[in-house]
Every structure is written in C-alpha cells, then in structure tokens.
Structure 1
C-alpha cells in the first residue's frame, strides 16, 4: 500500500482500487437493502390505510344502497296516496328499470370506447423511441 503525499496521504488514499471498489459495492448493497426495507415498511403502512379506507368506502356503499331502497319505498308510499298500491309500485319499477337501461347503454358506450385495452400512446412512444435509436445507430455507422 502506497500513500499519495500530493493529496495528504490519508488512509482512504492508501487503500487499493480493489479495496475501494469492494467497499463501494458493500455500501451500495447495504444502501439498497435498507431502502428496500424502508419501502416495504412504507407500503405495509399504506396498505393498512388503504384497507381501512376501502372497508369504510364499502360500508358507505352498502348504507347508500339501503338508502336508495328506502327512497324508492318512500316514492311508492307517496304515489300510493294518489293511486292504488299496484300502480304506485308499477310506476316506480318502470322508472328504476328505465334508469338501469340508460346506465347500461352509457356503460356499453364507455366500454366500447375503451377497447382494445392497449396503451396505444405508450406503444406509439416506444415505437418512436425505437425508430430514433435505429436512425441514430445507422447515422453513427455511416459517419
């Protein structure tokens, strides 16, 4: 081991290149391992929060579903004040089925617009990148 007196000759400068590369590899390995452990802990915490949030959102959806049922029942009762019960139920049922049909048609249009499920913008970007690399490689060979 030789020391470099021009730069102060400290202990880091007396280490061989192989020792320095080995130390760097060890430090990088430790850094990556620590970062992965931190990411794992962070994802676990976020996963717990997402699970709780999803459960609360699901509970809210169930309560809203029951609320909708009660609202429809209220509509039947209100119409029953004017018409016979069978007519009130029939009217509310027709309105609900009409709303379902409209939602189904709109959903079908949205699904049709979303197909094929390929990331066309990303594919076009990759194809442009490949063309650029090919052009650069061909230009580099001719230069």
Structure 2
C-alpha cells in the first residue's frame, strides 16, 4: 500500500482531531486526584506512542513511493544513454560503410560519409541530452519530500511537547 504525497496529510489530520477531542477529558480527570493523573498520563503516553508509530509508518511508505518514482527516472535515463551509445556505434559503422560505397557514387566519398555520419551523431547527441535530463530529474537519490515532512513532524512534536 503506497501513499502519494497528497495522501500523507490525511492520517495526521485524523490523529490531530483525535488528540484534540480527547485531551479535555483527560485534563478534567487529572484534577480529581493523583491516581487518576497517573492513569491519564499513561493513556496519553500510550496514544502518543501509537500516533507516533503510525506517523513513522506513513512517512516510510511515502519515502518508498518517492524512491520508486526516482528509480523509474534513473531507468529511463539509463536506457536513453544506452540508446545513445548504440546509435554512436551505428554511426561508426555507417561511416565505414559509407566510405566504401561512396567510392562508386557521383559525390565524392568523403561527402557521403560525412552526411550520414553527421546525421547519426546528431541523433546520438539528442538521445544523450534527453537521458541526462531524465537522470538529473531523479537526483538527489534521497526521498527529499519525505525528509522535509519528517522534519516538519518533528518540529510539530517539539512544539506540542513544550505546551
């Protein structure tokens, strides 16, 4: 089960609603006596632990989804680099074949070889540029969105702990 970037905020909103609606009853219970205070703190700690565990699991799912997306981009970019290499080899083969065939044509042999080789090298250059663009979209190979989300979550936890 993978969550997209948009899905990661929904569970947190639910958790926030739960803590906001339940917090006043525990505050009221805490005023009754020490025994109730300890029970309320235990319940609050238990709930906080559960919510933190759920948050960590959801952030890990977000990181996995982000890394899958970056992996696909690396694969596509690598394939384009491979295609550029293949076209480059074909350009070398065409240059040799064109030089041999050009001897029998009306044009000078060097002109025919230059035209075919130039066209194949142009194709190789275009494929290499496209491959580089795909690989650059996948860098850095760390799940940046998930890292920023975890930092924001930790700041929120610290802020609520100081209240």
TM-score bracket for the superposition, by shorter chain length: 0.3 to 0.5
Which structure has more RCO (C-alpha within 8 Å, separation ≥ 6)?
Answer: 2
Structure with larger Rg: 1
For normalisation by structure 2, the TM-score amounts to 0.38
